Amino acid sequence: MARTAPKVERLADDGEALTDALERVLDVAEEKGTVTWSDVSDDMSSGEWGRLIESGLLVDADGAGFVIEDPEAVRDALAETDADPEEGDDDGWSQWDKLAALGTVGLFAGYSINSIRDAIGGTIDIALGPLAEVLPFYVLILVLAVFTGATSSILQDNMMDMSGMGDHQEKMEKIKERRKEAKERGDDEALERIEEEQMELMTDQLGMFKQQFRPMVWIMLINIPVFLWIYWMVFGPGLTIASPVVTLPIFGEVETWRQGLVGPMQAWIVWYFLCSLSFTQVIRKALDVQTSPTAS
């Protein structure tokens, strides 16, 4: 399963004891079919057992014990964690992620520096120029919007684990309820423990936000060059191809792609975002991509 690996990675981030506990539970489950607390109580603490259940990797087998949700995927994820202990640092970003972020920052300069924009536009034009000669420019923008929407959706689906964020939110709600109850009964000792748990969850939340930002780096690395090429076409040598009279939905007839439609937003920008937003929603629906927190 695509979301099994991130769950195992989060356990690994919480310490080697949890991955050892997961390996032990996996061995027993594969040997007996199911696993119960009594089978592994000598090898782990009750807190570690509870953490495995909370992660969603260990699920109830209709009262007959527990089973691993996807044993093969868990085994593969554990092997990758053991094989590449230094692939990512404590914030979950690999060297490739950081290089992508650096490249994205460099691409942003293309919005304000003409020489960089021209270099990027000329390079991308090697691939897209022939299409611009065959397709009407508004169709080409639509095709590019579908491409960027599809790649964005695929990257989000494979790199984001919204179930983890959903689990985290559920834990925060439960802690708030426990804190309220402890405060009502005047249990200072319980309040102190709950506040410590809250601090730990807040630290975990920061790490999750960093993880959720990872796909955005790769999305921008793909989308920015495409957007800069369209800009280069409209304001550069491709203007003769990019400037026929067209009729856009809602806005009606447009004489030039540089025409302002929504405040300072010109026709080409409006048309690109209309296409991108519309088709991205369709693609996400088709691929069942989760972009909001859900429980595992």
As beta bridge partners, residue 248 has 252
* Average confidence (pLDDT) over 21-47: 84
Domains and CATH numbers, the chain: 4-83 (1.10.10), 95-161+214-287 (no CATH)
Helix 188-235 / helix 137-159 crossing angle, nearest 10 deg: 160
Which pair of structure tokens corresponds to residue 119?
């270099």
CA distance 85 to 95: 13
Per-residue pLDDT reduced to its tens digit, 217-263: 999 999 999 989 988 888 875 555 445 567 777 777 777 778 888 87
Amino acid 101: pLDDT: 87
Please, what is the average pLDDT of the chain? 79
For residue 87, pLDDT over 60 is answered with no
Residue of 152, 106, 146, 144 lying closest to 127 (CA atoms) = 144
Task: Tell which wins on pLDDT, 6 or 43.
Answer: 43
Residue of 92, 104, 132 lying closest to 232 (CA atoms) = 132
Amino acid 221: pLDDT: 92
Backbone angles phi, psi at 220, to 5 degrees: -65, -30
Share of the chain above pLDDT 70, in %: 84
* Average confidence (pLDDT) over 138-159: 88
Backbone angles phi, psi at 62, to 5 degrees: 55, 45
Task: Tell which wins on pLDDT, 290 or 188.
Answer: 188
Would the pTM of this model clear 0.75, i.e. be above it? no
* Average confidence (pLDDT) over 27-35: 84
| Contact between residue 166 and residue 293 where contact means Cβ atoms under 8 Å apart | yes
